[in-house]
Amino acid sequence: MAATVGRICGARLLKNYGLVTPQVLKITVCQLSTSTHGWTRNRKLLLSTLGVVGGGVGALLFALEQSVQASEGEAHPAHQPWSHNGWFQSLDHASIRRGYEVYKQVCKACHSLQYIAFRNLVGVTHSEEAAKAEAAEVMIRDGPDEQGNYFERPGKLSDYFPSPYPNENAARAANNGAYPPDLSLICSGRKGGEDYIFALLTGYMDAPAGVILREGQNYNPYFPGGAISMAQVLFNEAAEYSDGTPATASQLAKDVATFLRWCSEPELDDRRLMTIKVIGMFSMLAAIVYYFKRHKWTTMKSRKLAYKPVSKK
C-alpha cells in the first residue's frame, strides 16, 4: 500500500488537486512504510522466544504453587456463600453488629483490635450515641497529667480498642506461651480470608492417630501444623445476641467472620459504591466521546477521492 501511494505521488497524479506536495507525502509514506522500519527476522525471533519463555515460567510457578498448597499438612477451607461476595454486594451490617457482640463477649478477652477505633462503629453497627456508650464502658490509660502521672479515664469515640494485655510478655504468660494475634487485619493476612476464619472456628476435632499434642494444645486441621494453642471457644449459646437471633456455633462463627472482614476493610462498602458511580459516569462519557468521534470524522470517512490522469500533451 505504501509503495503504491509512493508511485502515485511520483507520477504527480494528485498535484492539480492541491492536497499535498508529492515530496512531503512521499517522505511521510516512507516513514510509515514497514519495509523501511520493520523488525528484522532475528528481532522477531528473539521477542517470540522471550514471550514463550516468560509464559512457560509463569505457568511453572503457578503449577508449583498449586502443588505446594496440595502438599501442605492443613486442610483447605471451603468457600462459603457470603452475602458480600461480588463486586456490587455490600456487607451485611446486621451480621457485623452481631459479630461485634461475639467479639465483645468471647474474643475480646484475648485478642485486640488495635487498628479499629470506636468512631468506626458509627453508622455501621451503632448510632453515635450507642458508640459513645460502648466507648465509655472501657477504661483508657491516658496521661501524663500536670504532675507527670498516668491515669485512667472512660473511653471516647476517638480511642482505639484497647489490648487485653499490657504487653506481649504478659499475653504469652497468660496463654501458655502463645501470643494471641491482633484481629484487625486477620482476614487480609490469612489466605482464604473469612472462609479461613469460619473453618478454623468450627473445625476443632479430636487429634487423629499419630498426631502428638503438647499440654494446652488442641487439634484443628485448618491451622498450619494442626496443633493450635487456642481452645475451641464457640459453642451453642456461647454468646447472646441482642436481636434474638439463635446463637448456634455456626451462626456465631459466621457473624464474627463477617465482623472481622469489615475490620480488615472498613471502607469496602464505600469503595464498591464508588465503583458503581464510576461505571455509570464513564459509560456516559464513553457515549459522548463516541458520538463526538463519529461527528468529527464523518467528513473524512465520507469524502470521495477523484482520479484525473495527467494529459500527455
Confidence of residue 5 (pLDDT cuts 50, 70, 90): very low
**What's the structural domain count of the chain?**
1
Contact partners, residue 75, CB within 8 Å, separation at least 6: 199, 203, 221, 222
Do the domain assignments include residue 61? Answer: no
Do the domain assignments include residue 181? Answer: yes
Do the domain assignments include residue 26? Answer: no
The CATH number of residue 219's host domain is 1.10.760.10
Contact partners, residue 1, CB within 8 Å, separation at least 6: none
Residue scoring higher pLDDT (96 or 43): 96
Query: Is 230 assigned to a binding site?
Result: yes
Beta carbons within 10 angstroms of residue 39's beta carbon = 11
Do the domain assignments include residue 277? Answer: no
Query: Is 111 assigned to a binding site?
Result: yes
For position 67, what pLDDT does the model report? 60
* Mean pLDDT, rounded, of the chain: 85
pLDDT tens digits, 103-159: 999 999 999 999 999 999 999 999 999 999 999 999 999 888 888 889 999 999 999
Lowest mean pLDDT among 9-13, 36-40, 170-174: 9-13
Query: Is 107 assigned to a binding site?
Result: yes
All three cell numbers of 175: 496463654
pLDDT tens digits, 254-302: 999 999 999 999 999 999 999 999 999 999 999 999 999 988 888 888 8
For position 301, what pLDDT does the model report? 82
Instruction: Judge whether residue 2 has pLDDT over 70.
Output: no
Do the domain assignments include residue 299? Answer: no
Do the domain assignments include residue 69? Answer: no
Structural domain range at position 246: 93-116+160-269
Do the domain assignments include residue 86? Answer: no
Residue scoring higher pLDDT (209 or 182): 182
Q: Which value, in Å, is the radius of gyration of the alpha carbons in the chain?
A: 34
Nearest to 263 by CA among 55, 100, 89: 100
Instruction: Judge whether residue 7 has pLDDT over 70.
Output: no
Do the domain assignments include residue 129? Answer: no
All three cell numbers of 69: 498448597
